A = this chain, B = another copy of it.
Amino acid sequence: MNRYMATIEYDGKAYAGYQIQNNALTIQEVLERALSTLFTNPTKIVASGRTDTGVSAKGQIIHFDADTTIPAERIPLALEHILPMDIAMTDCKIAASDFHARYSAKSKTYSYKIYLSKVNKPLYNRFYQYPYPIKINLMQNAICALEGTHDFRAFMASGSSVTDTVRTIDRAVMQIDEDIITIKVTGNGFLYNMVRIIVGTLLDIGRGHLQPNAICDMIATGDRSHGGHTAPAIGLCLDTVYYK
């Protein structure tokens, strides 16, 4: 029996998020079924963390234990014909027996993509369509306030039971390429809806609906109501999970 570490890429549009649940199809269920089929043995997986309904991943990391003669590097290809086209294992290797996809993770990078357009653009179907004029420089100036170790309780969706809301954001950057904005945030942990609230707040700052210092204000007061809207799941992607 070996422990495996695998990289998973998925287009989240068709799924009710990562985590297995009773009455909806999830990434975890599809992966566990495929691995159980491949290994002809019930196989459970553990991911670096959940992603919400509609969220995609380029570098979700999972671990699982299996007793198989298939070489680790051949498992992604062997799975390809069992998995649907919108979920893939892109890498697999044998890990230390105490490797844990969630507890061993040090930090993660999420990216969020927005396109600026009054009308739907079919080729940007994993981006958030934003139809309002915005001042990009206001957003550029505001984003750096996220970096550092702060209490991010104002960036957490209501209803979350998490009590320790201090997190460290190592890097928060925004790139512009014509009509596309990409926001990338790297941190040691993320509260529920945190990236989507960051993005919604930045857009509301850009639009002039919030003061340019709204992010500092949210960090100082811990008040969610000082922030902006929660950007939709569709633009969000778990890019990378970092381990020691």
Contact = CB atoms under 8 A, between A and B. Distances in A.
A61 to B, nearest CB: 16
A151 interface: no
Interface of A is mostly: mixed
A122 interface: yes
A125 B90 contact: no
Contacts of A76: 118-119
- How many copies of this chain? 2
Interface stretch (A80-88, A180-188, A198-206): A80-88
Contact of A87 (B80, B85, B117, B122): B122
Interface in A108-162: 117-123, 125-126
Contacts of A83: 120
A122 B85 contact: yes
20 contacts: A9-B121, A9-B122, A9-B123, A10-B122, A11-B122, A11-B123, A56-B122, A56-B123, A76-B118, A76-B119, A77-B118, A80-B120, A85-B120, A85-B122, A85-B125, A86-B122, A88-B120, A88-B121, A90-B119, A90-B121
**What are the 5 closest A-B residue pairs judged by CB atoms, nearest first?**
A11-B122, A86-B122, A76-B119, A88-B120, A9-B122
